Amino acid sequence: METKLEVSVISPVFNERENLKTFVDAVAEVMRSTGMSWELIIVDDGSDDGSAEAIKELINQENIRCLLLSKNYGQTTAIQAGFDNAVGKYLVTLDSDMQNDPKDIPALLNKLIKEELDLVVGWRKNRKDNYFLRNLPSSIANKLIGSITGVKLHDYGCSLKAYRADVLKEVRLYGEMHRFIPAWMATKIPASKISELVVTHHPRIAGKSKYGISRTFRVFVDLISVYFFMRFFSRPGHFFGLIGLLLSSIGSLILIYLVSLKFIYGLDIGDRPLLIAGTLLVVVGIQFISFGVIGEILSRTYFASSKEKSYFIRWNSNDKE
């Protein structure tokens, strides 16, 4: 059984050999100055530039741990691997490219603990990236995510974040959902428990970006999934049922209109496009309602057969301090 530490710092790495030693030394220096017990978990995401070998040389230092993934799974999976293996009461994530400044870690932890928050997100207010290729698309995505999820943050994409571990471990990350960690956590906690703090951002001095603009456009697709899970994960019948009722109601009105033309005015309706449209809407509407019923069954089966809960208990009077 591993000793419970105060802070676990987690960093996903993919081809960052040139930055690793500087990064590890900077994190170690900052964490020693806090006086807190800590560990640094470096998760190598299938690097092929010698990063894995460089990490193995660095883990001889005290408090440094390493996880070598068998291949390049992506940043989200690397972060989740770090979460699964962390033992700290508080978790901190940041990239190893030295664009995030480890010196900001104590400020994030201080805000998290003193204000009794569950998540503090770094805000790269003065971001040192190309405006049109990185900053502008990111700004648009941040506003869209905030308006849809209800979690208003300036910088969803900043990897520098501080978390309360017992809350974070109620959330599982899949695909490329690391950008939406605040939104996922909001499925378990109120948005008031999530805050942000302005952090320093440096231009990259070595290596090149791997998790960049090519993935920005996937945000819009992922956002649909996030919205569904935030609003309807435990009640999918409401989502599909509402669509089904709307479509079938429109279809039914069309068919009633056509029937009235046939029997009241004696008009021929057999060759009218509205007849096909109305019938199709009713059929599709019934299918959506059926999907909702099936979704409800699957949702209940999922919660009954897994450890996942549809709620999170922050404090139990039966638990001893």
The residue extents of the domains of the chain are 5-231, 236-305
- CB–CB of 34/6 below 8 Å? no
- Three-class secondary structure of residue 156 per DSSP: coil
pLDDT score at 215: 57
pTM of the model: 0.77
Superfamily of domain 5-231: Spore Coat Polysaccharide Biosynthesis Protein SpsA; Chain A (3.90.550.10)
- CB–CB of 199/158 below 8 Å? yes
Query: What element of type H or E holds 164?
Result: strand 161-164
pLDDT score at 44: 93
- CB–CB of 248/281 below 8 Å? yes
Kindly report, residue by residue over 260-302, the tens digit of the pLDDT.
999 998 888 888 999 999 999 999 999 999 999 998 888 878 7
- Of 112-121, 194-203, 219-228, 276-285, the range with the lowest mean pLDDT is 219-228
- CB–CB of 226/180 below 8 Å? yes
Beta carbons within 8 Å of 42's beta carbon, 6+ residues apart: 11, 13, 20, 24, 55, 58, 59, 64, 65, 66, 67, 96
Question: Would you state the structure tokens that stand for residue 11, as one six-digit string?
Answer: 């960093």
d(CA 149, CA 147): 6
Q: For residue 210, count other CB atoms closer than 10 A to its CB.
A: 18
d(CA 43, CA 123): 23
- CB–CB of 78/174 below 8 Å? no
- CB–CB of 223/144 below 8 Å? yes
- CB–CB of 275/258 below 8 Å? yes
Q: For residue 37, count other CB atoms closer than 10 A to its CB.
A: 15
- CB–CB of 4/89 below 8 Å? yes
Kindly report, residue by residue over 168-203, the tens digit of the pLDDT.
988 888 766 787 889 888 878 888 999 999 999 988
The candidate with the shortest Cα–Cα distance to 163, out of 105, 238, 97, is 105
Q: Which residues of 284-305 are buried (b: 16+ CB within 10 A; e: fewer)?
A: ebeebbebbeebbeebeeeeee
- Three-class secondary structure of residue 144 per DSSP: helix
d(CA 198, CA 218): 26
The pLDDT > 90 percentage for the chain reads 49
Can you tell me the mean pLDDT for 250-268? 93
Confidence band, pLDDT 50/70/90 cuts, at residue 74? confident
The candidate with the shortest Cα–Cα distance to 89, out of 41, 28, 37, is 37
Instruction: Read off φ and ψ for residue 80, nearest 5 degrees.
Output: -65, -40
